[in-house]
Structure 1
Amino acid sequence: MKEEILGVQVNTENYDELIPKVFQNIEEKKKSLVVAINPEKLMKAKEDPELKALLNRAEFQIPDGIGVIIASKLQKGNITSRVTGVDMMDRIVREAARTQKAIFLYGAKPGVAEKAAQKLLDTYPDLIVAGTQDGYEKDTRKVIETINQAKPDILFVAMGSPKQEQWIEKYRDELHPILYQGVGGSFDVLAGNVKRAPAIFQRFGAEWLYRLLKEPSRLKRQMNLPKFLLEVFSRK
């Protein structure tokens, strides 16, 4: 099920409901893109019709951000829990290990994807990592060839949004994987290069506050949240 927030479709399901649907598509060889939806992205999409169209073409739009939950409540919708990009990746990896689906990590600085892959293998010893590729390789044909030779079922792309989603959409018909997810800075988090917000911040959907306390320069970006909620409220 999906509901519309500022013209963008967003899934209403939680992790346990989404994962079977995602893996059913893998079994049926239906290529699928998982994209994280947050207030900042929705505000950008409001001004950028191409971005809005790209987000709406994705097969799965996960509600990543407490602002999306609040917006759904404001419009009496059905989104009740966050599905964050990094946790969705973890759930997909966990299920991939269980079902023996191979993954590939593409993006980030040299060495980061390899380190992230090793951390995942430490957590999920049965996981099949088909390969990794850093994001600094300029030859796109070489990247595509490397991925296709590895034959993964799932491709995680860490380039930042919306660049990663644009790259996936442009090349996915040429690529072997069935499931795609743009994961932003998740490789750095997995590799231990970037610390995630403490559990208490995660539990209350306040990771944005933790990042703001750590980086006050993010204040301008965080002002998107009240603007976003005001926009949703005005459309009620």
Structure 2
Amino acid sequence: MPELPQPRVRVGAVDVWSVRESGVADHVAAAWRRAEGGAIVTANVDIVRAATRRPELAALIAESELVVADGMPVVWAGRLAGVPVPERVTGSSLVFTLAGAAAREGRSVYLLGGEPGVPEKAAEVLAGRYPGLRVAGTDSPPFGFDADPGATAATVARVVRAEPDLVLVGLGFPKQERLIRLLRAELPRAWFLGCGAGIPMAAGEFKRASGVVQKMGAEWLHRLALEPRRLAKRYLRDDLPFAFRLLGGALRTRLRRTTAGTAGDQTTAGARIGE
């Protein structure tokens, strides 16, 4: 599949593309016309941290065609390293953007993840917003299904029978990426988005922070306020210190490159930071 012409930067153990959200939609639409599929990872600080510590997760992410910066610290790290990452591209936003692209292209969508009734509600919201969008199906796999080979196979089989063009998988990292790996083998012409909490957000289960808060890189505080018990440990103990290390590593990379007087080829490898 032709690569996007944008540069990319290695943040931790993850190669992040410098691309706008609209560019992702354009790329997916063009791939559909060529009957080519692919997968998208929305790399936030938590995902970058996990991949940097566990090589098998970095390898799992590397299987995807597109890895976008879902998190302002990831955007800032790329910019500090000298790669112009233009904006944050979140899974919750891509749910809508890609559904809109699917509607324009006459494609179908399948929503996988969330509590019972939630993907159905999200599907109604998307179909109402984008006339012509075909909903191929929805599913709410029970907790722990991924540990049961039979339940996993049944989940995969339901998606395959629906033959969707776009599959939104909201199960959290790395569960959703592992399931996407299985689905891609059966549906090579479909596109897959690991969207985390994007499905319940689309369903209106909880709201995102305001645009100003998002641009400030403080949406994590909004999420923390909504789900303190679930997110406090992850955000405060694990992700926040790692984010500072990412930014520090990016700045050191920039200074080394400036001192050496060579910027490198940003269109291929980019800068390696935060490891």
**CA distance 1:231–1:201, change in 2 (3 Å):** closer
Equivalent residue for 1:99, pick from 102, 105, 108: 105
TM-score between the two structures when normalised by the length of structure 2: 0.79
Q: Which of 192, 198, 218 is residue 186 of structure 1 equivalent to?
A: 198
Query: 1:122-178: CA deviations, max 9, x gaps?
Result: 211211111111122952333233222222111111111111001111332123651
The equivalent position to 2:141 in structure 1, one of 122, 135, 140, is: 135
Tell me if 1:170 matches 2:182: yes
Instruction: Name the TM-score, length of structure 1 as normaliser.
Output: 0.91
| Contact 1:144–1:175, Cα closer than 8 Å, also in 2 | no
Q: Which residue of 2 aligns with 1:154?
A: 166
**Which of 213, 219, 227 does residue 207 from structure 1 map onto?**
219
The structure that has the greater radius of gyration is 2
Distance 1:146 1:215, change over 3 A: closer
Corresponding residue for residue 265 of structure 2:
none
Given the alignment, which residue of 234, 241, 244 partners 1:221? 234
Q: Give me the identity figure in percent.
A: 33
Answering whether residue 68 of structure 2 is matched by residue 53 of structure 1, we say: no
After superposition, the Cα gap between the structure-2 partners of 1:15 and 1:175, relative to the gap in structure 1 and judged at 3 Å, is same
Secondary structure of the 2:9 match is: strand
**Shift in alpha-carbon separation, 1:92–1:117, aligned structure 2, 3 A:** same
- Further displaced range: 191-200 or 65-74: 191-200
In structure 1, distance between residues paired with 2:73 and 2:194? 20
Structure 1 runs, 4 residues or longer, greater than 4 Å off: none
1:158 and 1:68, CA in 2 relative to 1: closer, same or farther beyond 3 A? Answer: same
CA RMSD, aligned part only? 2.0
Secondary structure of the residue aligned to 1:100 is: coil
| Structure 1 unmatched ranges of 5 or more | none
Name the SS of the counterpart of 1:155 in structure 2: strand
Identify the residue that residue 262 of structure 2 maps to in structure 1.
none
Whole-angstrom distance in 1 between the partners of 2:59 and 2:153:
26
How many Å separate the matches in 2 of 1:229 and 1:71? 9
Moved more, 217-226 or 203-212: 217-226
- Alignment-mate amino acid for residue 76 of structure 2: I
User: Residues of 1 paired with 2:162 and 2:202: CA distance?
Assistant: 22
**CA distance in 1: counterparts of 2:205 and 2:22, whole angstroms:** 29
Separation in 1 of the partners of 2:81 and 2:122?
Answer: 39
Deviations 1:34-87 (A, max 9, x none): 111111111111110000111122101011001011111221112121111111
Contact map agreement 2:72 2:215 (CA 8 A) in 1: no
Counterparts of 1:145 and 1:70 in 2: how far apart (Å)?
40
Deviates more, 1:59-68 or 1:225-234: 225-234
Give the paired residue count: 236
SS of structure 2 residue aligned to 1:104: strand
